[in-house]
Amino acid sequence: MQVLVHPDGEALARAAASTIAERAAGGPITVGLAGGSTPGPTYAALGETDIDWEAVTLWLSDERWVPHDAPESNGRKALERLPASAAGRLIRPRFTAYLDPADSAVHYEAQLRAIHPDGRPDVVILGMGSDGHTASLFPSSEALHAPDNRWYVANHVASLDVWRLTVTPALLRAADLVLVLVTGGDKAGVLADAINGPDGRYPIQLLRNSEGDVRFLVDEAAAAALPT
Ligand code: 6PG
């Protein structure tokens, strides 16, 4: 795992976007998009690169169990920041009022496996919550213990009393490149503890078992408690 410190969120976003654009220049890639607010500038910065969107398939590292046009939908939020030319490249989980989130996750997982015949997602973008969750793998939630043969599951988040769809630890272990975007001083303590502290305290620490390249892109505020 690498920790790459950037002066601020905009510099971090430009670095993340150029990493993805460089990968896309090497041939077709898939990119899992994180939700929340941190990745927005990165999605906007992708619009400033020369990325060929025909070479990119986008999917969602996690999604809220809400209609696609709901303001809190991660897919909607990503599309609001991505360039218009990326809009047709995003595969979103099915949502309907009568569909069970677990069934939607099974269907989405089949789509993900179909675009990853080698079993290795190319790039997965993640964020980190101030409780150390990532995607919708929240502390003490069932999805943390999803079977190794699952890539995407429904997860009830008791602390929020909501259903989410999320990547599993197995998918994150298999990813070729994981970019974790963390900004803000409110996450500094958890980030330092997650990176340097004992294992098993935070869901984000499951990335320690990743087979691929894991890079934390952080701003100086989030890096404040890291050893210098
Ligand atoms: C979500 C995200 C979640 C997010 C963290 C950080 O659906 O909310 O996927 O894991 O990455 O909660 O959120 P911020 O970037 O808004 O701090």
Over residues 52-111, the pLDDT tens digits come to 999 999 999 999 999 999 999 999 999 999 999 999 999 999 999 899 999 999 999 999
CA–CA gap between residue 162 and residue 32 (Å, rounded): 22
CA–CA gap between residue 24 and residue 54 (Å, rounded): 10
Total number of residues shown for the chain: 228
Token match 């995607």: residue?
135
Do the beta carbons of residue 220 and residue 7 sit within 8 Å?
yes
Distances (CA, A) of 52 to 10, 74, 175: 22, 23, 22
φ, ψ of residue 167 in degrees (nearest 5): -60, 155
Helix (H, G, I), strand (E, B) or coil at 7: coil
Which ligand 1 atom is nearest residue 134's CA? Answer: 10
Do the beta carbons of residue 69 and residue 76 sit within 8 Å?
yes
Ligand 1 atom 7 nearest Cα: 35
pTM of the model: 0.98
Distances (CA, A) of 38 to 21, 64, 119: 19, 16, 28
CA of 127 from ligand 1 middle (Å) equals 5
pLDDT of residue 169 exceeding 90: yes
pLDDT of residue 12 exceeding 90: yes
Which ligand 1 atom is nearest residue 166's CA? Answer: 9
Ligand 1 mutation pick, 43, 134, 166, max ligand atoms within 8 A of CB: 134
Average pLDDT over residues 33-44: 98
The confidence band for 23, taking pLDDT boundaries of 50, 70 and 90, is very high
Which ligand 1 atom is nearest residue 181's CA? Answer: 15
pLDDT of residue 11 exceeding 90: yes
Ligand 1 atom 13 nearest Cα: 36
3-state secondary structure 162-218: EEEEEECHHHHHHCCEEEEEECCHHHHHHHHHHHHCCCCCCHHHHHHHCCCEEEEEE
Ligand 1 atom 14 nearest Cα: 36
Which ligand 1 atom is nearest residue 61's CA? Answer: 9
pLDDT of residue 228 exceeding 90: no
**Does any ligand 1 atom lie closer than 6 A to the CB of residue 130?**
no
CA of 40 from ligand 1 middle (Å) equals 11
CA dihedral over 150, 152, 154, 158, signed as positive or negative = positive
**Does any ligand 1 atom lie closer than 6 A to the CB of residue 101?**
no
**Does any ligand 1 atom lie closer than 6 A to the CB of residue 127?**
yes
